[in-house]
Amino acid sequence: MACTFEPLRGALLHVRRRRLILAALAQSGLACTSANAADLLAQLTNQDAGSGLRAALERGAGAAVDALGKTDGFWANERLRIPLPDWLQKGESVIRMLGRGKDLDDLHLGMNRAAEQAVPAARQLLVGAVRSMGIKDAKAILTGGDDSATRYFEDHTRAPIGARFLPIVTGVTQKIGLARNYDRLVDRVAQFGVVKSDDARIEPHVTTKALDGLFAMIGDEEHKIRADPVGTGSAILKKVFGAL
């Protein structure tokens, strides 16, 4: 009878040893993240992978647009506040000496206001990128690193969002007189050789920085979801991201 149970006993010992080895690897930080991700993907259906990623992407994009596309979305965020162009920062002391400090301050605030008004226009394009995402894209994002979803967004939407932002930013700068004030500052500084009037335009600068801020915010949201999928309250996000 003892011999009958010998294979079972050996199997149990093997399982126990395997568990101890895995636990030791996990505690020492040597467990392979990519292997875990591969195991997870093997267990997921295509529908799970696609649904989980789409939920994550839509959540991150929506939160980013909501955070930045409102009054003080950029201006009150010290990390993402749009700075004055580099050449203008270099000439700031000269401009203030010329008594144009208020123009400079108004310009800085106006730039951020223009970006805040442009950001909501990104929502439709971001959602479109999510809905056009294939299963291959979804699984690549799952195993592509902590910012892979954000990079997917940027690769697929940065250019069209920029094209949509630019006329909005231009309209705002014209409406509030920002472009006119900016042109005056350019002329003032140009006489000191800091910049050529023809080389400086405020709208492309604001558009580029607004895009940088938008994707940085999407990245923040992606990190939150990956770090705490349970906290999102979404069962599919928990299933897809919980083991990564």
Higher pLDDT, 161 or 182: 161
Same-domain pairing of 71 and 136: yes
The helix/strand/coil state of 130 is helix
Same-domain pairing of 21 and 88: no
Q: Write the CB contacts of 166 (distance below 8 Å, at least 6 apart in sequence).
A: 203, 204, 207
Give CA–CA dist 229/187, Å, rounded.
52
Give CA–CA dist 11/98, Å, rounded.
85
Same-domain pairing of 102 and 181: yes
Question: Which pLDDT value is given to residue 241?
Answer: 61
Same-domain pairing of 103 and 140: yes
Same-domain pairing of 71 and 95: yes
Same-domain pairing of 26 and 138: no
Same-domain pairing of 17 and 38: no
Same-domain pairing of 129 and 218: yes
Give CA–CA dist 188/84, Å, rounded.
16
Question: Which pLDDT value is given to residue 30?
Answer: 38
pLDDT by residue (tens digit) across 75-110?
999 999 999 988 778 778 877 887 878 888 888 999
DSSP state string for 76-87: T-TTTPPPPPHH
Q: Is the pLDDT of residue 7 over 70?
A: no
Residue span of the structural domain in which 93 resides: 33-241
Same-domain pairing of 59 and 180: yes
pLDDT by residue (tens digit) across 109-165?
999 999 999 999 999 999 999 989 887 888 788 778 889 989 999 999 999 999 999
Same-domain pairing of 48 and 13: no
Same-domain pairing of 96 and 25: no
Structural domain tally of the chain? 2
Band of residue 32 on the pLDDT scale cut at 50, 70, 90: very low
Same-domain pairing of 8 and 76: no
Q: Write the CB contacts of 55 (distance below 8 Å, at least 6 apart in sequence).
A: 234, 236, 237
Its pTM stands at 0.74
Q: Is the pLDDT of residue 232 over 80?
A: no
DSSP state string for 29-92: T-S-HHHHHHHHHHHS-HHHHHHHHHHHHHHHHHHHHHHHSSTTTTTT-TTTPPPPPHHHHHTH
Higher pLDDT, 187 or 105: 105
